[in-house]
Structure 1
Amino acid sequence: MSSPRPPRPSGWVLGHVAGAPVVLAPSWLLAAVVLTLVFAPSVQTWTGGGGALPYVVALVFVVLLFASVLVHELAHGLVAKARGQQPHAFVLTLWGGHTTFGGAAATPGTSALVAVVGPVANLVLAGGFMLVADHAVPDGTLLQTVLWAGAVANGFVGLFNLVPGLPLDGGRILEAAVWAATRDRHRGSVVAGWTGRVVAVGVVLVVLVRPWLAGVTPDLVSVAWAALIGAFLWSGASAAVRAGRTGRVVDSLTLQSIGRPAVVVGAQASLAQARETAAAAHTADVVVLAPDGRPAAYVDTEAAARVPADLAGTTTVLAVSTPLPVGAVVDGSLTGDALLRALSAASAHGPVVAAVVDGRVVALVRTRDVVAALRG
């Protein structure tokens, strides 16, 4: 499974491929132990042996399985890089693995191609294991059993990942198809996310309902695995739905939608003059300019409201103002994601940012207003 998540995860770096680290997350160790314990009884049944052998064989199979997952993720990353999308990290985790990128795919075709090569890689591995098991090793041997298990595991991983619902690769393909048809990437995310929610519920229902229909009570291990996988899929699908909705909001961001119009006064102005200027412009926000024309402060409306009218003429505007740090300025002509990135950088200096268009302060943008807009 792949997703555009820039932060580099923690873990052990095994090497680098396509300019990105291959990271073994600490949670992988837990997965390796649990899967080894789960598979060991089956290996003991196959081999008829006891002692440590079933656990050694089970561990070999688990390592083989995770190697197949790594091939899956490397396929994502290598094709992505060939299409101009730089992979950020290849990560093996408790849930298998994922590939992170420094940015999203530029076109629906690239997104679909990057998504489909992972499952295809697993299906190719499944075919390879089958061929070797059939033609290169003696029948009935332990090695043949392990190879057949690898073929089945890769076949399952490849086919399951093609199910059309995020966060699975098939969901990414569905997202790309909707994006191409509607020219709306975010609608694709929402549709594929909702489909992923259906898949998550379906996985749980299949594990629970099928045994009951056959008159058998589902075993506890199967129920636990179904619940974990269903929860993982539901979480990823829900995140995709939220990301799609948020992305649509981000695309529509403008200064008019998140900023509050402001007027400017000099540092020597009185509060009465600031009030008159703001009233004439039908706004409440006032920015105080430094002698060099830089926005230096903004009037705290609550503090200004506490000053009686008879004292406003003798109260300097700076007495009721909050400083604007250097850098707390944004280009008000920006829109969408460019505006959001600029606001993110400027808001590092403070929760209020002055918006400037053609060298003139036109509005104030507050972090809380931006957050409220992103939440819909």
Structure 2
Amino acid sequence: MAGTPVVLSPSSLLVVAVIALVFAPSVRYRAPGLGTGSTYVVALVVGLLLLLSVLVHELAHGLTARARGLQVREYALTLVGGHTAFHGRITPLTEGVVAVVGPVANLALAGVFWVVAQGVDPFGLPALVLFAAAYSNAFVGLFNLVPGLPLDGGMVLESIVWGATGDRRRGSLVAGWVGRVFAVGFAAWVILLPMLRGGRPDLWAVAWAAIVGAFLWSGASEAIKGARAGRAVDALHVGAVGTRAVGVPATAVLAEADAARGRAGADAVVLLAPDGRPAAYVDPQAANAVAAADRARVPLTAVAVTLPAGAVVDADLRGPELVRAVAATAQFSPVVAAVRDGQVVALVRSADVAAALRS
């Protein structure tokens, strides 16, 4: 669509079939004279209209995202509706605007179907299909405006909290918890309401509530988990994941390195090339194996591990920037030197960064 692929998953067609099966009895009641085949064809039209409505919903997201300067990668229709994948620099305003236009598009479609339905025989099949499309779009639009993740309304809430506090993670946490509350509340309402009225919940209603509730709970939980993981990433800095280091000339001996390490209060030693570039680091195990009497004559190069060219990061990097920099160098070196103002201040191991992220 406008150069962006539309991915139609097999599960979305399954949803169309299920909607047709559920809607067929209403068609049969309204038009008992229709044959079985015609009844299911009409019911299938309702399912296809709903699928088309989902596509319009996603197109609204994508076209608005593009208008806000984002790059849209794909539109996907799936078992749980659909999603639009895009990337670029996102601001609170952009996130909120892109999120809200999807439900608004469905509400506009509901209005269109409702108006068109007024011009046909209210007891005919066209009216039945049009009203079904109007009601389903109204439901999808209003449902998605609920202010809890993973719904569009949750994205709007996230953007509002993000804009007010400057903290996107906090917005995700707030909207995620609201999403969890709504997931439980929705399932409880569908199941308990008939019981409060003295009846029993319909089996289809229970199954539907369980599916929707599980989907909402899972999406909200993923948002909360992602926000917490994001905060862990944001908090990373060289001092937290690196080993304090001091640079010494590569021509030095172990005793000189010991003295420099003591003066700097460092735990690691980095060998510097003549041009000041970090060229290697001392292997602690190899260095500790050298007797005290021999340390004044053993060259550092004898107990050093070479650092490939480029195995250096800026010691002032934090959060995602630090993670990306270490990940980029991890492809050719598991250890990098962190440098500030031309001076080595730490050794950073990619394994330590990964451990910090896991914890």
User: Which residue in 2 is equivalent to 1:75?
Assistant: 60
1:217-276 deviations in whole A, cap 9, x for unaligned? 323332222222212211221222233333334444433333222112344444444333
CA distance in 2, matches of 1:325, 1:38: 64
Equivalent position to 1:96, from 43, 65, 81: 81
CA distance in 2, matches of 1:28, 1:327: 48
Against the structure 1 CA distance between its residues 283 and 71, is the aligned structure 2 distance closer, same or farther, given a 3 Å change threshold?
same
Against the structure 1 CA distance between its residues 126 and 277, is the aligned structure 2 distance closer, same or farther, given a 3 Å change threshold?
same
CA distance in 1, matches of 2:184, 2:222: 16
Which aligned runs of 4 or more in structure 1 are off by greater than 6 angstroms?
none
CA distance in 2, matches of 1:54, 1:305: 84
Equivalent position to 1:118, from 102, 120, 129: 102
SS at 2:198 equivalent: coil
SS at 2:5 equivalent: strand
CA distance in 2, matches of 1:345, 1:172: 31
SS at 1:205 equivalent: helix
Normalising by structure 1, we get a TM-score of 0.85
Equivalent position to 1:305, from 279, 288, 291: 288
Equivalent position to 2:5, from 10, 21, 28: 21
SS at 1:98 equivalent: strand
Q: Compute the displacement of 1:315 (Å).
A: 4.5
Normalising by structure 2, we get a TM-score of 0.89
User: Which residue in 2 is equivalent to 1:157?
Assistant: 140
Q: Give the alignment of 1:115-194 within 5 angstroms.
A: 115-135=99-119, 137-194=120-177
CA distance in 1, matches of 2:179, 2:89: 19
Q: Which moved more, 1:35-44 or 1:353-362?
A: 35-44
The answer on whether the counterparts of 1:327 and 1:349 sit within 8 Å (CA) in structure 2 is no
SS at 2:36 equivalent: coil
The answer on whether the counterparts of 2:69 and 2:88 sit within 8 Å (CA) in structure 1 is no
The answer on whether the counterparts of 2:234 and 2:320 sit within 8 Å (CA) in structure 1 is yes
Against the structure 1 CA distance between its residues 53 and 250, is the aligned structure 2 distance closer, same or farther, given a 3 Å change threshold?
same
The answer on whether the counterparts of 2:238 and 2:316 sit within 8 Å (CA) in structure 1 is yes
Equivalent position to 1:209, from 192, 211, 233: 192
Equivalent position to 1:353, from 336, 342, 357: 336
SS at 2:104 equivalent: helix
Q: Compute the displacement of 1:62 (Å).
A: 1.8
Amino acid at match of 2:257: A
Equivalent position to 2:51, from 50, 56, 66: 66
Against the structure 1 CA distance between its residues 350 and 206, is the aligned structure 2 distance closer, same or farther, given a 3 Å change threshold?
farther
Q: Which moved more, 1:329-338 or 1:201-210?
A: 329-338
Q: Compute the displacement of 1:101 (Å).
A: 1.8
Q: Compute the displacement of 1:336 (Å).
A: 3.6
User: Which residue in 2 is equivalent to 1:196?
Assistant: 179
Equivalent position to 1:256, from 239, 242, 263: 239
Q: Compute the displacement of 1:209 (Å).
A: 1.1
Equivalent position to 1:53, from 38, 44, 58: 38
Larger Cα-atom Rg: 2
Amino acid at match of 2:81: G
Amino acid at match of 2:171: G
Q: Compute the displacement of 1:372 (Å).
A: 4.2
The answer on whether the counterparts of 1:200 and 1:230 sit within 8 Å (CA) in structure 2 is yes
The answer on whether the counterparts of 2:19 and 2:46 sit within 8 Å (CA) in structure 1 is no
Residue identity over aligned pairs, in percent, reads 57
User: Which residue in 2 is equivalent to 1:13?
Assistant: none
What number of residue pairs does the alignment pair up?
358
1:51-79 deviations in whole A, cap 9, x for unaligned? 33333223222221111111111111212
